[in-house]
Amino acid sequence: MNLLDIPSELLLLIGEELSAKDLTAFTKTSRAVHSLLTPRLYYLGAQPSQTNEFPPLYWAAQYGHLPLLHGLLSKGAKPVGSQYKCELPGCTGRHISTALHWATKSNNETVIKILLARGVSVNAIDNHNSTPVHWACGNSTIPILKLLVDQDADLSARDGDGDPPIAWAAEKGIPDTFEYMLSRGADIRATNSSGATLLHTIFLRGNKYLDKHAEVVRIMLNRDFDMLAHTDNHGDAALHLAARWGSLEAIKLMLDENLAQRLDVNMRGSDNATPLYQASENGALEMVEYLISKGADVNVPNSSESTPLHTAAFSGRLEIVRALVDAGADVNAIRGPFTTVLYEAVIAKHLQVADLLLERGADVNGYLPPTTLKTHLHIAAGHPETAAGHPEMLRVLLRHGANIDAKDSTGSTALMYAASCWEDPQMCEILLEHGADVRARDNEGRKAWNRAHESGMNATKKILEKYMDIWPAKSGNGADDMEEEFIGSPTESWELENFFVVQEVDAQLAAAAQAQEEAAMQDAVEGAENANSQVQNEAETEDEDVDL
């Protein structure tokens, strides 16, 4: 049977049983079916959404499909106060908004007028508390914005971050929109829930390229220069945020010769950090160089006593480290409990940074801190508190004169830490090749071999055994003669490592056994003599009896 041979009544009954998706597919089978069932499709589209699919009314508003829009409205779609509220599983994160928001985003003036005429609130909010005028400031043209403002759109409405609509224009870098909002009464001194001004807002989203934002910055500064000094709830001025996010053009605008006399390039922000610290932490080399050229102090620390050089060294920013050192940064600056700049490079395993710092005068043998006697070489060898062992870092430090046998407060050398912390023979081999003392003992009397043995580092033990200095005695004069300046006699036994103690105990046991044997023999001799004396006495007594 041909589809067109089916009675219309039956086709309508079929259409009533189909979902909107299936009905849409069915209407595409022929013009006749499309004409017959399209009203039903409009009716379904006008009903409140029961799925997480985008409502047809919103689609029509976004794309300006006027026939569909009118068809849905004629079938009872309710734009007044309607919002797409997706609460079904898997719908988390979907943007919830009204049809007016989507029409605004698409700059469709006709649809906006239709929806407003139907009673849609010009101040309707989406799930982020943003109104259509927020969206217009971020995406639309002046005519659309004027249309909404003329309908009494609230210019002071706050979104979920506490930002007014004009903040969206600032963030997007739209000068015409920004100036229009100011002309309609928007507050240039408005702040959001974080205490950020419109100038802060430009940089809060990480706008690194300010080719289109520069004009907005100029407008702000021409209207209200004092906002440069305003700090947000974290203590940051706009200058700090621009430095943090690498907004070089904005920094240049704010530090212009006409403005710099009233703006301190070393002003403190969150964590007491300067703009130079923020730029160094972020890795913005050009920003660092520019701030230095404007008089930024390279040695100003933050609240943790960390200098720009500390954070650049830890992050491995080689060229920034070079720029800071060239500008006079202290390569031996201390952060907190004796954390040096070199320590930051060593613990983060930045070889080139460490090499540069040492070339520029960093103290390779400085203590970290003095009470522990811990050195940078201990750290590079694998000190258990940091686990920062790195073979090539050992070479860098040794090349610059690190004391290879320096002991910390536990009596441990770098070799001992390398032996006990890393199942990597290369660590110990590097130290041994550079002359590390394999015989050195810690405060508990243990050598590097003992430490490796305790930690189960078998591969490391074999390397150490090549350099062990224990050899059997030649003169037989005791333990003092048994320690030779000799390489060899490899062994894996704990007893041989403690050979001297074992020999002494054996000697004591042997002496005791010999003394006991001698005492027993003496007792036997004395017993025999006593017995012999008694026999003689008895014999003499018998002789006397015979004489009588």
Residue type, 290: Y
3-state secondary structure labels for all residues of 513-533: HHHHHHHHHHHHHHHHHHHHH
Query: Left (φ > 0), alpha (ψ -120 to 50) or beta: where does 93 sit?
Result: left
Q: Which CATH class is domain 370-470?
A: mainly alpha
Are the C-beta atoms of residues 283 and 315 closer than 8 Å to each other? yes
Architecture of domain 266-363: Alpha Horseshoe (1.25)
Instruction: Please report, for the chain, the start and end positions of each structural domain, with discontinuous segments joined by +.
Output: 266-363, 370-470
CA 19 vs CA 26, 51, 279, 411, 517: distances in Å: 10, 11, 57, 80, 109
Q: Find the DSSP H helices in 173-272.
A: 175-183, 198-204, 214-223, 238-244, 248-254, 257-260
Give yes or no on whether 266-363 and 370-470 have one common fold: yes
Q: Residue 115 has what pLDDT?
A: 93
- 444: how many CB neighbours lie within 10 A of its CB? 10
Are the C-beta atoms of residues 252 and 290 closer than 8 Å to each other? yes
Terminal CA-to-CA distance of the chain, rounded, Å?
165
**Could you give phi then psi for residue 287, rounded to 5 degrees?**
-65, -45
Task: Give the predicted TM-score (pTM) of the model.
Answer: 0.71
pLDDT tens, position by position, for the chain (548 residues)?
676 667 666 666 676 667 766 766 766 677 776 666 556 555 555 444 444 455 677 777 878 878 878 877 877 777 765 555 554 444 444 456 788 998 998 999 999 999 999 889 999 998 889 999 999 998 878 999 999 999 999 999 999 999 999 999 998 888 999 999 999 999 999 999 999 999 998 887 655 555 567 788 888 988 888 888 899 999 999 999 988 887 788 888 888 766 666 788 999 999 999 999 999 999 989 999 999 999 999 999 999 999 999 999 999 999 999 999 999 999 999 998 789 999 999 999 999 999 999 999 999 998 888 888 999 999 999 887 776 688 999 999 999 999 999 999 999 999 999 998 866 788 899 999 999 999 999 999 999 999 999 999 988 998 998 888 543 333 344 333 334 333 333 343 444 445 444 455 556 667 777 777 777 777 776 766 666 666 566 656 555 554 54
Strand, coil or helix: 326: helix
Give the separation between CA 218 and CA 220, rounded to whole angstroms: 5
| DSSP letters spanning 46-114 | HSPP-SSSPPHHHHHHHHT-HHHHHHHHHTT---TT------STT-TTPPP--HHHHHHHTT-HHHHHH
Q: Residue 546 has what pLDDT?
A: 47
Tokens of 401: 């004169």
